[in-house]
Structure formats: structure tokens, C-alpha cells
Structure 1
Amino acid sequence: MSALELRRRAAQGEPSGWDAAVHPVLQRIYAARGVLQPAEVEHRLQRMLSPQALGGLDAATALLAEAIRDDWAILVAGDYDCDGATGTAVAVRGLRMLGAKRVSYAVPNRFVHGYGLTPALVDSLQPRPQLIVTVDNGVASVAGVARAQALGMRVIVTDHHLPGEQLPACDAMVNPNLTGDGFQSKALAGVGVMFYLLLALRATLRGQGAFAKGEPDLSVLLDLVSLGTVADLVPLDFNNRVLVEAGLRRIRSGKACAGIAALVECGKRSAATLCASDLGYAVGPRLNAAGRLEDMQLGVECLLTDDLAQARQYAGQLDGINRERRDLQAAMVAEAEAMTSGLQDIDAVGVALYEPSWHAGVVGLVASKLKERLHRPVISFAPASEDDTANLRGSGRSIPGFHLRDALAMIDARQPGLIERFGGHAMAAGLSLRAADFPRFATAFDAVARELIAPERLQAALYTDGELPAGSLSLDLARQLRAAGPWGQAFPEPLFDNVFECAGWKPMGEGHWRLNLRDPRDGSVHDAVMFNVGSATPPTQLRAAYELVINDWQGRESVRLLLRHIEHATV
């Protein structure tokens, strides 16, 4: 039980126009997320934003059309996270579908090449392609693009990260976050940007009469788009929900690519009932693990193969790497918690951590865990590699109201040269600096955090959708909630809070509870579970923040409360 303040979301307007079959609780949940009418959850593909407003597409599609017509060697330069891997697979599959015959890919090894299209990655490309297309990176690759062009290569950058003061001098750039871009959704993931580029390229080729034998159906790529979008934790605005829901429908209908099907199996999830949280918690981490600890080429190959047996073999390897990642993460988080055990008793606001034994591929996960515990922005650092301990790579996670990338930009402006490279978003960012400069950076980061974060924002809060009325904890409502998503970043899973009596409990596995909770209003008793509680025991009377989920055991469905937070209460 952590020191959280439970707060309830307020409706952002009055719901209207809903069918009587839509549970009133679900209408209330939608209203708390600004969704007031049925049209706002009609996630049909026909309602996705048109590519026409996305800046840079004309130049990019013209160059790609020329490359396809003249049979250029095209190389897709991806990234080593799940968004980058799925985006790379979408690019390779999509370009081949659209007629490109010589398409290859390269994903940087974070410990050898660094992040993005670096000069080191460009120099490693043999044979040299005529055209490089980046996915989920490139907006900050000034030196890498210059190196590629010096060697005679053309470069198209597709990215979704925020641009810095200087843009690379590439041949074309597609990024919804460029100043002046009229595209209404700034939340596209890297894989989403690539999907939009392929849609625009298909339209260009259609206009050139390239599809005499019928044009390809790019919707077959949406399972990959869905996975990358959810795993990258971009806000699920309406357009992203359309993309994610379309991909989930493909997976549920048994039409997923072999790699995703194998990863779903490996995660012990049912494809027929898969939801966005399954992509985020069971599929994405297994794919991400390859880029964190080894080489993301394994993950990309898993997503590119059409042989299910081969995909299962790749998925098994990825699962093994993910188990190793979990063990390493647990050890690093334990060390980080020991380092910060007294932090809340002092006046620290921006937290920077460094341990020479840490692994650069896992520091972002450590920052995420510590951010949750401390409710402060956290950046964790590790040596750049085993052979390069003089330089550090850091990964940070933030809290609402503190724009992490902008904070790094402030530090960079005030102390030029302290940070060697940085980039990212409001809630997550990465950077590199010299190990000798870590103390100076830690002081600067804390100073900026103190300047920008009001004290009241340091109170950790858990937002809920309020109480469920007596008699509402039903299988019908649980089914509607599961089908109502996709839930995710900025469109959070429904969470309720009620007071219960603990009618019984027992340990489950190591550090988990299985409980029977009685609703004092009507005497009904509900099955509940809570994970990662250690050796604690539940109070007799408690207020619980919980998700209403479906427990599917041997083909029989029942309601279960998945407890996210509990505190003592008086019934």
C-alpha cells in the first residue's frame, strides 16, 4: 500500500445519444474522458484522418515512386524498440507490396551504433543503398544524414519525435510534430507515420497507373501498427484508437502476421479476446527485450516471417531474452530503491541516478519504476557500453505537468556542452553525457524540476471513475468495458473505487493475494486478486481502487476485481 491520494475523474460534459444497451456506467466513463456521443467511439477505418494534411508526404512519395520505378536499393533504418521494430516491418512489407524489389533493413545496435541514423550506422551499411528511409528516428540525425549524403545516398526521414533547433538536411521528412504541419493528430507513433506514408505512396502510384493487376490492401499491416502504437505509449487519441482497434480486429479474427500470433501464444493470451493491454503487457515487452539486451534484428525477423513455425522459434528466443531482462530489471530496481530509500524525507524533486554496473538497455525501465514510487521525474544512467565507461546513456520518465524533453532543452541552453545528445517526448526522453559530468547534470536537472514543478504536483494521485453502484459489479458490465476500448495512454482503463469488507483471503504464488470482498451495501461477495503485495496482509475493512475484469477459467467466465490500490477504511 503506497501513499496515494485517490481522486475521482469528473465528467467533461453531458452524455447524449447513447443506445439504451450501453451501460450508464460506461457512458459515465466515456464522459470523464471527453467522449460524449456515440460517434466519438465509432472506430471505423473510414474515420481515420486523411494523409493529405501530413506534411512532407509529397516529396517523400515522389522520391519513393522514383526509387520503385527505377529499381533502387532501398534500406529501411529502424529503431531498437517495439515501435521501431514494428515500423521497420511495416515499411519492409509495405514497400514490397507496392512494388519495391530491393528492400532491406538495418536496426542500430544501441551498444555499437548508438541511437538513430548515426554516422557509425551509415558506415556499416554494405552494400550501400541508394535510398535510406528512417522509421521512428531521424529528426535529430543531423550528422548521420550528412554522412549518408556525402556517400551518395538519398535520405527520407519518418519520425514522430519532437524536432530540435536544427533539422537534418534530408531529401524529405515526414513528422506530424514539425512546426506548421496541419495534421490534426500529433500523437502518431513511428509505425503510424510509416503507415501513413505507405497510404500516400499507394495513392501516388495509383495516379501513375502502377496497379494494372489490382492495388495492394495495406490494411493487412494494421496488426503491426496496433502493436507499435500501444507499446510506444503514445496518447490514444481518436485517430490512434481507430488504428489500434483495426489491428486488434485483425488479430482477434485470426489474421495476424505469424510473428504477432506467435508472440501472443508465448504471452499465454487468447487471440480471440485480445485487448490493448495484452499488447502492452504481454506482447510488446517480449519484442522490446531484444533491443534492450541484444540486437533487435531478431525481433524484426520475427515480424517479417510468414512461416508460423519459424515465428514460434523466434518468439521463444525473444521470451528467453525477456526473462533475462526481467531478472536484470528486478536487480537494478532494487538497487535504485536502496539508493533513494530516504529521498521522500528530503527536498529532491528531479531525480538522477547512476550506477556503473547498470545495463544501458534497462535504465528506462528503472526510471519508470522509480517515477511511479517517488512521483517525481527520474532519469537513470548506465555506462554507454562495457567498453565505454567514460560516457553515459540515460533514459528518463516524467510525471504529468513536467515536459521532460523541454526540461533537457533548458539545461542544454543554460549549460551548453553538458548534454551531448538528447531527444524524446513530454513523458519520456533519452540523452547521453560524459560520466565525469553526471554530478553537474544531476544538480541541473533537480534545479529545473524545482523551477517547473509546483509542490502540489508532487502528491501522487490515482484517478478513478468513482464508485460502482450496488449490483453493478456484473459480468455484463465487465464485458462491455472490455469491448469498449481500446484503452491506453491518455484514454485510461476504467478504474473504480469502493469500500469493502475482507471476507477472506489467502496467499497466491509469491507475494500476491486472492481475496473475497463483501460489498456492505448489499452483502454480495466478489472474487478479487492483488499482485506484488509482498508479505503484507489485507485490512479487514478497506477502500479499493480496482478494475472490473473477466476471469476466464476452463471456458467459464466470471467477474473478478483486479485491485490496483487499497487503503484502510471504515465501513
Structure 2
Amino acid sequence: MTAPVVLRRRPPAEAHGHWPEQVIPLLRRIYAARGAGAIELAQPRLAHLLPPEGMLGLDAASHLLADAIANDRHVVVVGDFDCDGATACAVAVRGLRMLGARKVSHAVPNRITHGYGLSPGLVAELAERDPDLLVTVDHGIACHAGISEAKARGWQVLVTDHHLPGETLPAADAIVDPNQPGDGFPSKALAGVGVVFYVLLALRRRMREAGAFAGAGPDLSRLLDLVAVGTVADLVPLDTNNRTLVAAGLRRLRAGQGCAGLNALIEVARRDPTRLSAADIGYAVAPRLNAAGRLEDMSLGIECLLTDDPAHGRELAETLDRINGERRAMQQQMMEEGEAFAARISVADAGMPLAMCLHDTDWHPGVIGLVASKMKERLHRPVVAFAPAEPGSDILRGSARSIPGLHIRDVLATVDARHPGLIDRFGGHAMAAGLTLASSALPLFEQAFRDCVQALATPDLLRVEILSDGELGVEEFCRSAAEALRDGGPWGQAFPEPQFDGVFTVQRWRVVGERHLKLELEYAGIRIPAIEFGGWDGGEPPSRVRLAYRLEPDDYRGGDAIQLVVVHREAA
């Protein structure tokens, strides 16, 4: 069950202007190939951050918040149960307190009990807190019923979100979402945590102009460690503005200036904070935060991000680490079941279908997104994984993941338009979306989903394309080049980590950890170690191979050691 792979090189591009000496020519070439041909685009600083002007709703939002602070009103920040939602909640709570709010609390829906976002059920539970103003972070643009319920209780509602809106907007007092109609903010790629950070920037400016501070006001850049983690975790495109935010947050974390909870999470993940990268956030820090929202209650993760006590932060981080271990075991089991199910579907359909719907009555709804993502990567097909909303429920929760070029939320919108009432609720992005429907509706949805993908997918979309930055010269297989590549980010969505290709001779090989392939390669007279994670297929690799790979420092061996991390291998 593998999709065809096409390996091709990026078109060459030229870097312009003055570059500092420490930016080596290899890195300049890589930046230029990603459209960053000048140093201010390749390594943007906070001075290059886009100003808040143009973001629709900021004036109304800052007015609501300034009025709430001035009149000592109770503000409840309503987060979400993923890493972006948790970090956005922590940024909002910390930021409002920095700006003088004395009555700030937070809440987060439970994935099983409440479902996604500000639901009427969650609003009913919040009534005992007697809030004056609800602030949604990383959700709200699709929460019409919950917002209407809150308004009926006499509360004000501020929506801060980044998801795509539906045909109508909710009846909130103010909405800040760069993707809402009429918004003129140049970057539409902000994560939820980035949106609320901009709201705080606008609020500080309003308060400063009103004379609320003796000077410039509190330093909101202290929140950028959280902004960086949420932005990387949510897999939004790292355009210049997002890379500005992430790079600034990484600098704080590397300097040990992160909040107590993030510092503790880095420690339990066994990452070196002085060399922390966006990949470390994506693969080590974010999963531990996300695990709380997937299996238990994201309140635990938010508490970890809000504490200023290092000992308490360490205790919470260790609990999150344990939960993440449970999540990994559950995910592995669900993946094995999903692969077996997909194999049966392929046999029944005499080939791999263009889209996959996977479902098991024993699956956990908090892990289906990971299963869908992993299966999408393995099959290079859009995948929707379903699980009961709660044990024994007739309502299914689905998590969809797509491939480049196929907008998954638009696919769901098309299915909804062709079959009104089939889907209860849906929402999301181009690459990821969520939905709910009745279990009895699953067969019809599966057929409608496949039909829609069939109409949109082209043969080119169904091939895995691996883009290479070309060959490395023999002198570039060195520690200094590997470190420059590692530290030259942040790398991520739409600004991918550098990878290269070349033909190598396999001198030695062995299997490690049952599934991984350790190689000793020869290239132009030098020996280079390499590892291909999950690369053991039961057969001996050919003596000559063409590889797509990343060049990385080998910190395990230390010194001048490097290794190649194999992304793709084929016979040469």
C-alpha cells in the first residue's frame, strides 16, 4: 500500500543583497529556493513583524477588553483541546493579566463531554462562574449555537479564531479572524495563538493611547515562547510573518526564558534547550501537550503553561509525558488496525481507492486525528478516521487529513451541499478538518466522499512528490554545514526543511530497533553514516542507491559526527 514517488529538484534561485558571513552559501541557496532571497526574508526579526492594521475586528475587540479591564469585569478565556488552543488560552490569560486584568479565568471543552468549541453545553456549565465577557481562542467562528446561548444569558462574546468561516458569521460582539470576509491583514496563515497575540498588541496600543501606562506598557514579547509552540504545532504555513513569531519564540526558549511549563516539557522530552528547533517542538513538545486533550482534559496542559513554579511545572510535565506514552501505545494499536482495514478495502476494490474512510467502534476519538494523519502519509490519499463520540454512542466523530492540492474542508462542504443533513457539523482547513455524523450515515458519507474526491483528484495529485535541494558537494558533508542547516530555520509548513539527493554506494547495513535501517555509505571517496527510520522492508538494500536525505549533526556520537536521515531510497 504505497503511492508512486517522484523525486525532483527545486529550480535554482539566486540570493540577493548583503548577507552576513555566518550565512553560508549553501544556506543562501536554500533560502532563495524558498522565495527568501534576502536576509530580512530569510531570517526575519521582530522589527519586520506585520503591524496589526488591516485586521478586521481589532478595534472592537480591543474596546471590549479595555472596557472589561477598566470596569473590573470577569473575563473567561475559552480555549480548545489541541496545542494551538492551549497555548492561545495561556497567551490570552497571561497577556490580559500583564495588561491589568484582575478577574481572568479560563475554561476548555472536554473532547468527550462537550465536543469542539463553545457549545451550548459548555456555556451552561460556565454560568456558575458568572462571566461578563467570553473570549474564544482558536475557535468560535463556527460556534453559532454556543455564542447565541451566551448572548441570551447577557454575556458579551469576543471571537478570536483563524479557521475558515461558513456562509454566515456568529452573532458575537466582535470577531477577529484573518480569514473572515473583508479582512485586509496581509497574512492569512496565523495560528489561533498568533491571532490572540495580535489582539493583545492592539489592546496594549489602545490602553497606551488612553494613558493607562506610565511608559510603553508591558513587554508582550515575553509571550512569544507560547506563540512559537502553538504556531509550529498547528502546522500552519510558516510565511515570513509566522517565521518571525516562531524564530523570536525559539530564541527565548533557547535562552532559558520560556515559561516554567515549557521549560519542563523540553526537559522531560530530553531535548537540549540551547539547540531547540521547530522540529523539536513538533515532534517532542507539542505531542505531550496534545496528549492531555486527546486522552484526558486539556486543562492539565493549560495549567502547565500557566504555572510560574518550576517544581509544579516539572510535576505537570511528567504527568503529560506519562499520558503521551499511553497515547502512543493506543495510536500504534489503532494504526495496525487501520492498516489491516485499508488492506482489506484495497483487495475488495481491486486496488487502492482514491479516498479512505476508516472506522472502529473501539477507537478513541482523541486519537483518530493522528491515525488519519499517519495513514494519509502512508497511502498518500485523503483519509477520514471515525470513532464513537463516546463509548456506545450512535454519533461518530471524524478527523480528516488531506494531500497537497486537495482542500479537505471544501470537499466536506461539497458533500454537505449534495447531501443536506448527512453531516451534522464540520469545519477545518485545507489539509485537516473535523466532522460529526450519525453512525447510520457512514456508508452514504463514505460513498459521497469518494465520489467528490474522484471528481477533484488528478493523477499528479496522487503521486508523492519529494522536492530536493540538489546534490551536496563532498566538502559540504561536514558538521558546520549540518549545524548551519539545523539552525537556519525555523523550518516547517511552506518553508520546508532542506533535503538533498544523490547516488551512494552501500558499504554496510544492519537493522536497528526491528524496523529501522542503519547504513554506511560511500560518496566520492568518503564514508558517511545514514539511518532510514522505518526503512527495513525485509530485504537487502541494493549496493547502489539513490537517496533523498537530510544532513544532520549526530549529537549522539558528538564531535564532528554527522549522519544522513534518509527520506526516500530507490535503486540507482
- TM superposition score category, shorter chain reference: over 0.9
2:478 to 469, 474, 483: 474
- Per-residue deviation, residues 152-174 of structure 1 (Å, max 9, x unmatched): 11000000000001211000000
Is 1:10 aligned to residue 10 of structure 2?
yes
- Per-residue deviation, residues 335-364 of structure 1 (Å, max 9, x unmatched): 111111155542621221111111111111
Name the Cα RMSD after superposition. Answer: 1.6
CA contact (8 A) 2:269 2:284 kept: yes
2:325 to 323, 326, 330: 323
Q: Which residue of 1 aligns with 2:100?
A: 99
Following superposition of structure 1 onto structure 2, how do residues 19-418 of structure 1 map, counting pairs within 5 Å? 19=19, 22-125=23-126, 126-212=128-214, 215-341=217-343, 345-346=350-351, 348-388=353-393, 390-418=394-422
Distance 2:567 2:352 in 1: 28
Q: Which residue of 2 aligns with 1:564?
A: 567
1:507 to 500, 506, 511: 511
CA contact (8 A) 2:3 2:380 kept: no
Q: TM-score, normalised by structure 2?
A: 0.96
Q: Which moved further from structure 2: 510-519 or 280-289?
A: 510-519
Distance 2:10 2:527 in 1: 28
CA contact (8 A) 2:3 2:379 kept: no
Is 1:542 aligned to residue 569 of structure 2?
no
CA contact (8 A) 1:292 1:362 kept: yes
Distance 1:237 1:250 in 2: 20
User: Identity percentage over the alignment?
Assistant: 55
Letter in 2 for 1:415: H
Letter in 1 for 2:91: V
Shift of 1:555: 5.4
1:425 to 424, 429, 445: 429
Distance 2:11 2:24 in 1: 16
Q: Which moved further from structure 2: 32-41 or 419-428?
A: 32-41
Letter in 2 for 1:97: M
What secondary structure, in the 3-state scheme, does the structure 2 residue paired with 1:35 have? coil
What secondary structure, in the 3-state scheme, does the structure 1 residue paired with 2:555 have? strand
What secondary structure, in the 3-state scheme, does the structure 1 residue paired with 2:460 have? helix
| Change beyond 3 A, Cα 1:229–1:513 | same
Following superposition of structure 1 onto structure 2, how do residues 489-500 of structure 1 map, counting pairs within 5 Å? 489-500=493-504
Shift of 1:114: 0.8
- Per-residue deviation, residues 221-274 of structure 1 (Å, max 9, x unmatched): 000000000000000000000000000000011101011100001111000000
Letter in 2 for 1:109: N
Shift of 1:32: 2.0
Letter in 1 for 2:119: T
Letter in 2 for 1:325: R
What secondary structure, in the 3-state scheme, does the structure 2 residue paired with 1:229 have? helix
| Change beyond 3 A, Cα 1:354–1:81 | same
- Per-residue deviation, residues 58-112 of structure 1 (Å, max 9, x unmatched): 0000010000000001000000000000000000000000000010000000100
Letter in 2 for 1:385: E
What secondary structure, in the 3-state scheme, does the structure 1 residue paired with 2:570 have? strand
Distance 2:453 2:4 in 1: 21
Structure 1 gap ranges (5+): none
Aligned length: 566
What secondary structure, in the 3-state scheme, does the structure 2 residue paired with 1:553 have? coil
- Per-residue deviation, residues 191-216 of structure 1 (Å, max 9, x unmatched): 00000000000001101111137611
- Per-residue deviation, residues 510-550 of structure 1 (Å, max 9, x unmatched): 3223321111xx21001212222346343322111111001
Shift of 1:414: 1.1
Letter in 1 for 2:206: T
Distance 1:393 1:468 in 2: 46
Shift of 1:36: 1.7
Q: Which moved further from structure 2: 263-272 or 557-566?
A: 557-566
Distance 1:333 1:512 in 2: 18
Distance 2:549 2:14 in 1: 25
What secondary structure, in the 3-state scheme, does the structure 1 residue paired with 2:553 have? strand
Distance 1:304 1:253 in 2: 19
Distance 1:261 1:169 in 2: 39
Distance 1:362 1:526 in 2: 38
Letter in 2 for 1:375: H
CA contact (8 A) 1:350 1:448 kept: no
- Per-residue deviation, residues 285-339 of structure 1 (Å, max 9, x unmatched): 0000000011000000000001111111101110111111111111111111111
